Amino acid sequence: MLAAPLLFACGAAVPPAPDPTPPAGAVQVGDADDGRTISVQLGRQISVTLHRQNGFQPWSGLSSSNRDVLAPMVDTRNAGARGVTLGLYRASSKGEAQLTANAGVDCSPGMACPALVRVWTVTVEVA
CA–CA dist 40, 91 (Å, integer): 7
Hey, what amino acid is at 31? D
pLDDT (tens, 9 = 90+) of the chain, 127 residues, equals 444 444 444 444 444 444 455 666 799 999 999 999 999 999 999 999 999 999 899 999 999 999 999 999 987 776 657 789 999 999 999 999 999 999 999 887 777 777 788 999 999 999 9
Domain edges within the chain: 25-106+115-126
Could you please state the CATH topology (level 3) that the domain comprising 25-106+115-126 is classified under.
Answer: Immunoglobulin-like (2.60.40)
CB 87 within 8 A of CB 62: yes
CA–CA dist 62, 9 (Å, integer): 36
Q: Is 5 exposed, middle or buried (0-12, 13-18, 19+ CB in 10 A)?
A: exposed
CB 102 within 8 A of CB 117: yes
pTM exceeds 0.85, yes or no: no
CB 77 within 8 A of CB 108: no
CA–CA dist 124, 91 (Å, integer): 9
DSSP annotation of 117: E
Q: How many CA atoms lie within 13 A of 40 on its CB side?
A: 27
Q: What is the CA radius of gyration of the chain?
A: 19
